[in-house]
Amino acid sequence: MKQHTLWTLTLAGAASLSAAASEPAPPQTPASNMAPAAATTGLPLWEAGLALGAGHVPDYPGADRYRTRGAVLPVFTYRGPVLRIDGGSIRGRLARTPEWELDLSATGAFNASNNAVREGMPALDYLFGVGPQAVYKGLQAWPGQPTLHLKVRALMSTDFKQIDRRGFSFDPELRWRLRQVAGTPASLSFSLQPTWASRSLHAYFYQVNPTEATLNRPSYNARAGYLGTEAALTLSHRPQRDLSWFISARLTSLHGAANTGSPLLRDRSNLAVGAGLVWTPWRSKNTAAD
User: What digits encode the pLDDT tens for the residues 138-149?
Assistant: 998 898 899 999
Distance between CA atoms of 250 and 149, rounded to whole angstroms?
A: 18
| Residue-number span of the structural domain to which 79 is assigned | 13-283
CATH code, domain with 144: 2.40.230
Classify residue 5: in a domain, yes or no: no
Nearest to 83 by CA among 97, 96, 70, 72: 96
Question: What pTM was computed for the model?
Answer: 0.82
Closest of 92, 84, 100, 102 to residue 26, by C-alpha: 84
The whole-angstrom separation of Cα 175 and Cα 145 is 8
Distance from the Cα of residue 202 to its chain's centroid: 18
In a domain, 8, yes or no: no
Per-residue pLDDT of 229-266, as tens digits, reads 999 999 999 899 899 999 999 999 999 999 999 999 99
Q: Let me know if residue 1 belongs to a domain.
A: no
pLDDT band for position 59 (cuts 50, 70, 90): very high
Sign of CA dihedral 2, 230, 106, 145: negative
Instruction: Return the top range by mean pLDDT from 75-79, 127-131, 217-221.
Output: 217-221
- Band (pLDDT 50/70/90 cuts) for residue 185 is confident
Residue 237 makes CB contacts below 8 A (sequence gap 6+) with 24, 184, 185, 186, 187, 244, 245
Q: Is residue 73 part of a domain?
A: yes
Residue 13 is predicted with a pLDDT of: 27
8 Å CB contact between 39 and 73: no
Q: What is the pLDDT of residues 6-17, one digit of tens each?
A: 333 223 222 233
User: Looking at the predicted structure, is the pLDDT value of residue 27 above 50?
Assistant: no
Task: List the one residue out of 33, 44, 72, 8 whose CA is nearest residue 277.
Answer: 72
Backbone angles phi, psi at 146, to 5 degrees: -65, 150
d(CA 211, CA 117): 15
**Distance between CA atoms of residues 202 and 166, nearest Å:** 9
Residue 6 domain-assigned? no
CA angle 277, 280, 282 (to 5 degrees): 160
Domains identified in the chain, total number: 1
The predicted pLDDT at position 191 comes to: 95
Largest CA distance in the chain: 65
pLDDT at 173 over 70: yes
Return the DSSP state at 19: H
Query: What is the chain's mean pLDDT, rounded?
Result: 83
DSSP 40: -
